Amino acid sequence: MTSSTAIFSPLQLELIDSCVPYTADSALTAATRLRKAGIDSADASAMLTQAKLRTQAQAKFGQRALTMLFTEAGYEQSTRLAVARLHAQRFIDANLFSVADLGCGIGADSMAFADAGLKVVSVELDEQTAAFTQHNMSAYENCQVICANMMELPFSQLTDATGQPIGALWLDPARREVEGSASRRVWDAESFSPPFSFVKKLASTGIPMGVKMGPGIPHDEIPDNCEAQWISHGGSVVEVVLWFNALARPGVKRSATVMSNNALEPEVLGEITSDVWDKNSPEPEIRELQQFIYEPDGAVIRAHLVTELAEETGLHLIDENIAYLTGDKYVPTPLASAYEIIDKLPLHEKHLKKWVKEQRITALTIKKRGVDVVPETLRSKLLAGSKKKKGQPAVTATLIATRIGSGALSERFALHVKPVA
């Protein structure tokens, strides 16, 4: 490369390919290969970074990652391909034909939009990232990449590759500040790039718009004129998308969407919605602990839809402040993990250590909610001295540490449970 913003040459791309998969064991061999090819140290470092990121990115993009270019910050914030394709389907369902991806990063969502047949204008401020996006989007027709500050773009004049006005917007505000080779998370929405006030100003124009945000955004910061969709993928809550105007579903204010762990295809296992904001949710019905306990998916919890899930399934909360549900029979739902209760134990280290020894447990899963317990620390203490005998299978168990009530009436306990498949 001749400058920090230049794209890699065909030879350099070929050499990057030869360094994948990049692992700690292969790093020295890869560096030696580049040195023998006459690559200087600065370019070799950049190329090895690409090999490392391509190796890591297969978890998000599958085999497509092997032909992509990444910045480290762009990779960290990029949308998983299956989730990006779910975004794209929302635009198709709304009968939209083009979209401007503002602050597109390395182009993860732009590629999914293009895959769905949308005409895409990808806008990125950073020159190197825009060059990498151009590489990642090069196989698509009717798509263009612009290196520009989105906050200075005349949106009324923005057109797609065929000259038609852009029909919708997609924003993924940067939530990290990059300082040299390091980056740090930014929590204040007004410190995002672009700031949240700019996002709301765009939404007020009436243009269909989706905005990807961190799933921990406080509910009181979410505008009333959108649908907020929390999405979990493979058991991890990855984002909340704020859908404005024609992209918001009628009668939906909050939704929780649970996807499988398929990295490439958007397999939705289940969804729950509400037509009101959480401050208007129904009062939960509290019941005593019964035979089964349920842990709602993180997206359901983040969306404050646990009470609605209880109503939908016929289950009940065990405490108004603890996101566990209970019932006297097994109710299958993709929106929660079910466990059958085997025993209720005191949440005391000494008692539990004795129980582990008596049960000859050698592998322990600990879940917790509402108690000041660090599962990793407690597990280490309880299993101290417990070793699996050679040739014998591990004896596994699952504990749920939680509480009911508050103050002097609070009851802390550990449930020995069996996961229900």
Parent domain of 320: 292-419
**Residues 216 and 332 placed together within one structural domain of the fold:** no
Note if the bond before 21 is cis, omega within 30 degrees.
yes
On whether residue 115 sits in a domain, the answer given is yes
Sorting pLDDT into bands at 50, 70 and 90, what band is 231? very high
User: 50, 68, 86 — which closes off a domain?
Assistant: 68
Sorting pLDDT into bands at 50, 70 and 90, what band is 3? very low
**Residues 257 and 369 placed together within one structural domain of the fold:** no
User: 68, 83, 99 — which closes off a domain?
Assistant: 68
Amino acid at 360: R
On whether residue 30 sits in a domain, the answer given is yes
**What integer pLDDT is reported at residue 290 of this predicted model?**
96
Mean pLDDT of 363-387: 92
Query: pLDDT for 170-219, tens place per residue?
Result: 998 876 665 555 566 666 777 777 888 999 999 999 999 999 999 999 99
Strand positions, DSSP E, 297-410: 316-319, 322-327, 336-346, 363-368, 396-404
On whether residue 281 sits in a domain, the answer given is no
Query: pLDDT for 103-157, tens place per residue?
Result: 999 999 999 999 999 999 999 999 999 999 999 999 999 899 999 999 888 877 8
Average pLDDT, the chain: 91
User: 274, 308, 331 — which closes off a domain?
Assistant: 274
**Residues 138 and 54 placed together within one structural domain of the fold:** no
pTM: 0.90
Is the predicted pLDDT of residue 338 greater than 60, yes or no? yes
**Residues 242 and 378 placed together within one structural domain of the fold:** no
**Residues 257 and 336 placed together within one structural domain of the fold:** no
Sorting pLDDT into bands at 50, 70 and 90, what band is 405? confident
On whether residue 82 sits in a domain, the answer given is yes
Strands 363-368 and 316-319: unpaired
Mean pLDDT of 212-241: 95
Sorting pLDDT into bands at 50, 70 and 90, what band is 418? very high
**What integer pLDDT is reported at residue 4 of this predicted model?**
42
Mean pLDDT of 374-399: 86
**What integer pLDDT is reported at residue 364 of this predicted model?**
95
**Residues 252 and 339 placed together within one structural domain of the fold:** no
| Tokens, residue 269 | 């296992």
**Residues 414 and 326 placed together within one structural domain of the fold:** yes
Query: pLDDT for 7-54, tens place per residue?
Result: 899 999 999 999 999 999 999 999 999 999 999 999 999 999 999 999
Amino acid at 71: T
Amino acid at 350: K
Mean pLDDT of 379-383: 94
On whether residue 139 sits in a domain, the answer given is yes
**Residues 80 and 62 placed together within one structural domain of the fold:** no
**Residues 62 and 96 placed together within one structural domain of the fold:** no
On whether residue 197 sits in a domain, the answer given is yes
On whether residue 332 sits in a domain, the answer given is yes
CATH number at residue 83: 3.40.50.150
**Residues 264 and 317 placed together within one structural domain of the fold:** no
Residues of the chain with pLDDT > 90: what percent? 81
Amino acid at 266: P
Q: What is the spatial distance between Cα 257 and Cα 232, in angstroms, rounded to a whole number? A: 6
Instruction: Compute the Cα dihedral for 270, 273, 279, 280 and give only its sign.
Output: negative
Dihedral (Cα; 134, 140, 142, 143), 10-degree rounding: -30
Query: pLDDT for 297-320, tens place per residue?
Result: 999 999 999 999 999 999 999 998
Domains contained in the chain, number: 3
- Helix (H) / strand (E) containing 47: helix 41-61
Is the predicted pLDDT of residue 271 greater than 70, yes or no? yes
**Residues 43 and 181 placed together within one structural domain of the fold:** no
Q: What is the spatial distance between Cα 173 and Cα 148, in angstroms, rounded to a whole number? A: 15
| Tokens, residue 254 | 């909050």
On whether residue 5 sits in a domain, the answer given is no
**Residues 59 and 100 placed together within one structural domain of the fold:** no
**What integer pLDDT is reported at residue 278 of this predicted model?**
85
Amino acid at 276: V
Return all residues near 402 (Cβ < 8 A) that are at least 6 apart: 318, 322, 324, 368, 369, 370, 371, 412, 413, 415
